[in-house]
Protein backbone atom coordinates (compact mmCIF):
# COMPACT_ATOMS: atom_id res chain seq x y z
CA UNK A 1 0.00 0.00 0.00
CA UNK A 2 1.32 3.41 -0.87
CA UNK A 3 2.22 5.75 1.93
CA UNK A 4 -0.21 8.43 0.73
CA UNK A 5 -3.07 5.92 0.67
CA UNK A 6 -2.06 4.67 4.12
CA UNK A 7 -1.90 8.25 5.43
CA UNK A 8 -5.39 9.00 4.08
CA UNK A 9 -6.71 5.75 5.57
CA UNK A 10 -5.19 6.62 8.97
CA UNK A 11 -6.81 10.07 8.86
CA UNK A 12 -10.22 8.47 8.30
CA UNK A 13 -9.57 5.87 10.99
CA UNK A 14 -8.51 8.62 13.37
CA UNK A 15 -11.86 10.33 12.85
CA UNK A 16 -13.67 7.06 13.55
CA UNK A 17 -11.57 6.58 16.67
CA UNK A 18 -12.48 10.02 18.00
CA UNK A 19 -16.14 9.28 17.28
CA UNK A 20 -15.92 5.98 19.14
CA UNK A 21 -14.34 7.76 22.12
CA UNK A 22 -17.43 9.98 22.24
CA UNK A 23 -19.64 6.90 22.08
CA UNK A 24 -17.78 5.33 24.97
CA UNK A 25 -18.09 8.53 26.98
CA UNK A 26 -21.84 8.60 26.31
CA UNK A 27 -22.20 4.99 27.45
CA UNK A 28 -20.20 5.71 30.60
CA UNK A 29 -22.74 8.45 31.31
CA UNK A 30 -25.62 6.04 30.67
CA UNK A 31 -24.03 3.75 33.27
CA UNK A 32 -24.33 6.53 35.82
CA UNK A 33 -27.91 7.28 34.80
CA UNK A 34 -28.87 3.60 35.06
CA UNK A 35 -27.36 3.47 38.55
CA UNK A 36 -29.46 6.49 39.48
CA UNK A 37 -32.62 4.87 38.09
CA UNK A 38 -31.81 1.73 40.03
CA UNK A 39 -31.44 3.74 43.24
CA UNK A 40 -34.80 5.41 42.60
CA UNK A 41 -36.50 2.06 42.17
CA UNK A 42 -34.81 0.68 45.28
CA UNK A 43 -35.61 3.75 47.36
CA UNK A 44 -39.27 3.87 46.42
CA UNK A 45 -39.85 0.13 46.00
CA UNK A 46 -41.91 -0.16 49.19
CA UNK A 47 -44.17 2.70 48.07
CA UNK A 48 -44.47 1.20 44.63
CA UNK A 49 -45.71 -2.06 46.10
CA UNK A 50 -48.63 -0.20 47.64
CA UNK A 51 -49.54 1.74 44.54
CA UNK A 52 -48.58 -0.70 41.80
CA UNK A 53 -48.82 -4.42 41.52
CA UNK A 54 -45.78 -6.49 42.34
CA UNK A 55 -45.81 -7.76 38.77
CA UNK A 56 -45.50 -4.22 37.37
CA UNK A 57 -42.57 -3.52 39.67
CA UNK A 58 -40.83 -6.73 38.71
CA UNK A 59 -41.23 -5.87 35.03
CA UNK A 60 -39.73 -2.43 35.59
CA UNK A 61 -36.80 -3.93 37.52
CA UNK A 62 -36.28 -6.55 34.78
CA UNK A 63 -36.27 -3.85 32.11
CA UNK A 64 -33.69 -1.93 34.11
CA UNK A 65 -31.53 -5.04 34.46
CA UNK A 66 -31.81 -5.86 30.75
CA UNK A 67 -31.00 -2.28 29.75
CA UNK A 68 -28.03 -2.22 32.12
CA UNK A 69 -26.65 -5.43 30.60
CA UNK A 70 -27.18 -4.12 27.08
CA UNK A 71 -25.21 -0.99 28.02
CA UNK A 72 -22.36 -3.19 29.25
CA UNK A 73 -22.43 -5.27 26.05
CA UNK A 74 -22.43 -2.21 23.81
CA UNK A 75 -19.62 -0.58 25.80
CA UNK A 76 -17.54 -3.73 25.34
CA UNK A 77 -18.30 -3.66 21.60
CA UNK A 78 -17.20 -0.02 21.43
CA UNK A 79 -13.93 -0.87 23.21
CA UNK A 80 -13.36 -3.78 20.78
CA UNK A 81 -14.12 -1.47 17.87
CA UNK A 82 -11.63 1.09 19.18
CA UNK A 83 -9.04 -1.70 19.46
CA UNK A 84 -9.60 -2.70 15.83
CA UNK A 85 -9.20 0.89 14.70
CA UNK A 86 -5.99 1.26 16.68
CA UNK A 87 -4.71 -2.02 15.28
CA UNK A 88 -5.27 -0.88 11.70
CA UNK A 89 -3.60 2.44 12.43
CA UNK A 90 -0.49 0.97 14.04
CA UNK A 91 0.15 -2.02 11.79
CA UNK A 92 0.41 -2.66 8.09
CA UNK A 93 -2.78 -4.72 8.13
CA UNK A 94 -4.94 -4.15 5.10
CA UNK A 95 -8.30 -2.57 5.96
CA UNK A 96 -11.39 -4.15 4.42
CA UNK A 97 -13.51 -1.02 4.07
CA UNK A 98 -16.78 -2.90 3.54
CA UNK A 99 -16.35 -5.02 6.68
CA UNK A 100 -15.29 -1.98 8.65
CA UNK A 101 -18.29 0.08 7.50
CA UNK A 102 -20.63 -2.83 8.21
CA UNK A 103 -19.27 -3.17 11.76
CA UNK A 104 -19.60 0.57 12.24
CA UNK A 105 -23.21 0.62 10.98
CA UNK A 106 -24.21 -2.36 13.16
CA UNK A 107 -22.77 -0.65 16.22
CA UNK A 108 -24.64 2.57 15.41
CA UNK A 109 -27.92 0.63 15.09
CA UNK A 110 -27.35 -1.13 18.42
CA UNK A 111 -26.65 2.21 20.09
CA UNK A 112 -29.74 3.82 18.57
CA UNK A 113 -31.92 0.90 19.70
CA UNK A 114 -30.42 1.11 23.18
CA UNK A 115 -31.07 4.83 23.39
CA UNK A 116 -34.73 4.39 22.40
CA UNK A 117 -35.35 1.73 25.05
CA UNK A 118 -33.30 3.65 27.62
CA UNK A 119 -35.38 6.79 27.13
CA UNK A 120 -38.64 4.87 27.54
CA UNK A 121 -37.34 3.17 30.68
CA UNK A 122 -36.15 6.47 32.13
CA UNK A 123 -39.52 8.09 31.42
CA UNK A 124 -41.35 5.17 33.06
CA UNK A 125 -39.17 5.23 36.19
CA UNK A 126 -39.56 9.00 36.53
CA UNK A 127 -43.33 8.77 36.01
CA UNK A 128 -43.70 6.18 38.73
CA UNK A 129 -41.42 8.12 41.08
CA UNK A 130 -43.28 11.36 40.42
CA UNK A 131 -46.60 9.63 41.11
CA UNK A 132 -45.28 8.34 44.44
CA UNK A 133 -43.92 11.72 45.48
CA UNK A 134 -47.19 13.42 44.60
CA UNK A 135 -49.17 10.81 46.55
CA UNK A 136 -46.89 11.26 49.56
CA UNK A 137 -47.29 15.04 49.35
CA UNK A 138 -51.08 14.69 49.29
CA UNK A 139 -50.96 12.28 52.25
CA UNK A 140 -48.88 14.75 54.25
CA UNK A 141 -51.25 17.61 53.42
CA UNK A 142 -54.27 15.55 54.43
CA UNK A 143 -52.70 14.45 57.70
CA UNK A 144 -51.65 18.00 58.65
- The domains of the chain are located at 3-143
Lowest mean pLDDT among 28-32, 67-71, 87-91, 139-143: 139-143
pLDDT in tens, 15-62: 999 999 999 999 999 999 999 999 988 887 666 666 556 677 788 889
- b/e for 74-104, b at 16 or more Cβ within 10 A? bbebbeebbebbeebbeeeeebeeeebeeee
CA angle 86–70–61, rounded 5-degree value: 155
Question: Considering the entire predicted model, what is its pTM?
Answer: 0.83
Using an 8 Å Cβ cutoff, are 122 and 68 in contact? no
Q: Percent of the chain scored above 70 by pLDDT? A: 88
- CA terminus-to-terminus distance, the chain: 80
User: Residue 103 and residue 96: Cα distance in Å, rounded?
Assistant: 11
Higher-pLDDT residue of 93, 19: 19
Amino acid sequence: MSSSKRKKENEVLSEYYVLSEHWKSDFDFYRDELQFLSSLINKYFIYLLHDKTLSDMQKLAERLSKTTQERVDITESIIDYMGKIKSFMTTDKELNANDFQTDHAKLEVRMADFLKSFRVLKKDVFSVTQEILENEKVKKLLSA
